[in-house]
Amino acid sequence: MSKNILITGASSGFGLLIANGLHSKGYNVIGTSRNPEKIQSTVPFKMISLDLDSGQSINTLPERLFKEIGQLDILINNAGFLVNGIAEEIPIELGRKQFETNFWGTIKVTNAMLPHFRKQKLGKIITVGSIVGLVSFPNASYYAASKHALEGYFKALRYELDEFNISVAMIEPSAFKTSILDNSSAPIAKIDDYDSLRTRIEKFTNDLVKNAEDPALVTAKILKVVKIDKPKFRNIVGKGTSTLLNLQHFAYGVLEKNVLKQLNK
């Protein structure tokens, strides 16, 4: 029997690629989007509505989902967005929104599915984090903080769900060619003191995007995690990720100097 997989944020970016990839492998995929009607006719899998910023939308998700399927085998938390900009320039309310969606929205969706997983004593929760959830970079303070928070939360949850035969895993991609920057939010007001740094960051970011890898690698990594009964918690993917983590763990100062060197080119 084909496994049923729920993927949040399946209308674009990683989510769409993951959903299409899993569907092509024979999995029964249900994707979510704020406006599923806009994409339903263009995808081969079922789409249902979900707004991570709406408690009502999340609370009614199980009822709506189980009208489509009898059992959920895997939840893939993917939905989220990017707030980019210098930390001091970002309004606190925009920072709060980053956390409401990326962190609290993800946690609320997970909690909505946990009673079902515990009842059947079977399930897998895969959350798409980011390498910046392990190693922070300039111009992404709130985004990195939200991904760090997910890392800490799901580490604890992994222990708590073990006795129920529910696996918890994180996918941590580095830079890939997706639409995340196109759909990002940024502060309007700028602080002149940061103009020089901002220029260097823009060059650094443009080079990063230009040399970003094919996101199909992330889809392939998730397919592997889906197939493994007991996947490891941390699953990094992308060039340079192992080096970044080793530098963070053993010599963070070297990493910091390297980032500053790149920005000052």
- In 52-105, alpha helices (H): 55-59, 61-65, 92-99
Q: Which domain holds residue 183?
A: 4-190+214-239
Which residues participate in catalysis according to the annotation? 143
Q: What is the CATH number of the domain that holds 9?
A: 3.40.50.720
pLDDT(47) > 80: yes
For the chain, what is the domain count?
A: 1
- Provide the pLDDT for residue 18: 93
Which two structure tokens, joined as six digits, stand for 136?
């922070």
Q: Does any domain span residue 198?
A: no
Band (128; pLDDT cuts 50, 70, 90)? very high
pLDDT of residue 186: 78
Lowest mean pLDDT among 88-97, 171-180, 203-212, 251-260: 251-260
pTM greater than 0.75: yes
Tell me the per-residue pLDDT of 101-111, one tens digit each, with 9 for 90 and over. Answer: 999 999 999 99
183 lies in some domain: yes
Q: What is the pLDDT of residue 135?
A: 81
Task: Read off the pLDDT of residues 134-147 as tens digits, 9 standing for 90 and up.
Answer: 888 888 999 999 99
